[in-house]
Amino acid sequence: MNKYILLVSFLSLSYFAKAQTTNPGLLVNIQKASQSEINLYNTADLEIGMLVYNTDVNRIFEYTNNGFTQILTTNDVNETITSLVNNGDGTFTYTSEDNTITNINGTDNQVITSTVTTPLSLVNISLEDGGNTNINIQDADADSNNEVNQTFAIVAGNIALTDNAGTLNLPLTDIDSDITQVVTTGNTISTHTAASGTITNILETVTTFEQDDTTTATDPAATGEITYTDEEGTPFTAQIVSTEADNQIEVGTNGGAYLGPTVYTGTFIISAEGVVTITGIPFQPSQVTFIANANVESLNIDSDNGVGNNDRGIDNSFGTMNGFARNTDGTLVQQAMYSGGHANSINDNSRYASSSNCIGVRYGNQDGSSLGKIEGAFGSFTPDGFNITVNYTNGVVTDNNANPLINVQPTDVNAEALLIIFTAYK
Query: Mind spelling out the 3-state secondary structure of the chain?
Result: CHHHHHHHHHHHHHHHHHHHCCCHHHCCCCCEECHHHHHCCCHHHCCCCCEEEECCCCEEEEEECCEEEECCCHHHHCCCCCEEEECCCCEEEEECCCCCEEEEECCCCCCEEEEEEECCCEEEEEECCCCEEEEECCCCCCCHHHCCCCEEEEECCEEEEEECCEEEEEEHHHCCCCCCCCCCCCEEEEEEECCCCCEEEEEECCCEEEEECCCCCCCCCCCCEEEEECCCCCEEEECCCCCCCCCCCEECCCCCEECCCCEEEEEEEECCCEEEEECCCCCCCCEEEEEEECCCCCCCCCCCCCCCCCCCCHHHEEEEEEEEEEEECCEEEEEEEEEEEECCCCCCCEEEEECCCCEEEEEECCCCCEEEEEEEEEEEEECCEEEEEEEEEECCCCECCCCCCCCECHHHHHHCCEEEEEEEEC
Q: What pLDDT is attached to residue 162?
A: 79
Range scoring the smallest mean pLDDT among 30-39, 272-281, 393-402, 406-415? 30-39
So where are the chain's domains? 2-77, 176-205, 208-258, 263-425
Quote the percentage of the chain above a pLDDT of 90.
41
pLDDT digits (tens, 9 = 90+) for 40-78: 999 888 999 899 999 999 999 999 998 999 886 656 655
Q: Is 70 exceeded by the pLDDT of residue 288?
A: yes
Q: Is 60 exceeded by the pLDDT of residue 1?
A: no
Mean per-residue pLDDT, 134-143: 68
pTM of the model: 0.47
Range scoring the smallest mean pLDDT among 22-36, 202-216, 351-365? 202-216
Q: What pLDDT is attached to residue 3?
A: 43
pLDDT band at 11 (very low <50, low <70, confident <90, very high): very low
